[in-house]
Chain A
Amino acid sequence: MIRSEILREIAPILRDKLVVCNIGLPSQELHMIDDNEKNFYMLGTMGLSSSIGFGLALAQDKTVISIDGDGSVLTNLGTLPTIANNAVDNFVLMIIDNGSYGSTGDQPTYAGKKTKLEEVAKACGCENVVVCQDIDTGKCLKAAIDSKKMTILVVKCDSGNIKLPVITMDPVVIKDRFMKAIAS
């Protein structure tokens, strides 16, 4: 499966959760599949999905899922020690690990070569690191949420993209409706 197929499959699980979605195609795909006020789309700032989601999880009690990518986590590897050492149980970091920089033309990442992000996460001190195959994503994500333990979910899948338009929604509108959904 490719990322867009996974997102389509897990959309019903994400529906009532706060979701911080990675820049580029992941946000565009989620926006197309199930746009709603509980989604925060990153329009820029590669690498910070985990940090934004984690800051949000620390600040309030609702479950937060950060959808990240292997390339983006590599951009901001310092995030993993921060998350590990300040763990909160309403946070799930889901890394879609397709071994490529999807939004920029599927250039290979080091995570698709020798580097294993699940081992990096463990070495950084993350206690619940789950590796799952694309087809099991829904089951693993649900288990992670239900466990009420902070979980790093590394989803192994194929690289590949679908054609879809950019998000034209104003960033302040994205933020405003997201904040209202959080506060409601």
Chain B
Amino acid sequence: MDVNDKIVADLVKNNVEFITTVPCKQLAGVIDAVEASPDIFHIPSNKEDEGMGLCAGAYMGGKRPAIIMQNTAIGVTINTLATLIQYYRMPLPMLISYRGELREPVACQVEMALHTKALLNQMNIPTYHFHKESDVDEFDEILKYTFMCNKPVAILTDASFWGGYGDQ
């Protein structure tokens, strides 16, 4: 199964039916697959903290949410993670493109890559790193874990996982 279809199949299997996205080139395929899924309501956000607000509301309304975003968004969402998602104890799977890793063509992306794991660690956010395509096999269990413990959980997906970043 195509990795994007596998991710969406696992989301659907775990009853994740409300997904917000902020695009990244690496995530284009999975965002298309989310949009195409009849079992998922997809609502693009303009900024990732806004998206987490939508997810918090959807969760309280009885829908399991998820956010798909770039790792630069960790810099945008620290306050929202601490004072909304963690403080009120809400589950939130965060599928994150991990830009600035091996095969990255854009030097500036390395700058936030350097801080990404340190910030997630500082926030006590459980963090998984998908580097090889087969790592996606754990996605189903990570979703179950997220909704078991009611925490935000980060899944970092780097360029090697996605098979490279665009045309190089």
Q: A residues bordering B, Cβ < 8 Å?
A: 20, 40, 42-45, 47-48, 50-60, 64, 76, 78-79, 81-82, 86, 171-172, 174-175, 178-179, 182-183
Contacts and interface: CB of A to CB of B under 8 A. Distances in A.
Given A172-B89, A175-B89, A45 B62 contact: no
B90 interface: yes
Contacts of B65: 55
A78 B58 contact: no
Interface residues of B, number: 32
Interface stretch (B46-54, B95-103, B125-133, B152-160): B46-54
Contact of A76 (B49, B58, B83): B49
A56 B56 CA distance: 8
Given A44-B84, A45-B80, A182-B61, A55 B56 contact: yes
A75 B65 CA distance: 23
Contacts of A81: 46
Given A52-B60, A59-B62, A171-B87, 19 more contacts: A42-B84, A47-B49, A48-B84, A51-B50, A51-B54, A52-B53, A52-B56, A55-B53, A55-B56, A55-B65, A58-B58, A59-B60, A60-B63, A86-B43, A172-B88, A174-B88, A175-B60, A175-B88, A182-B60
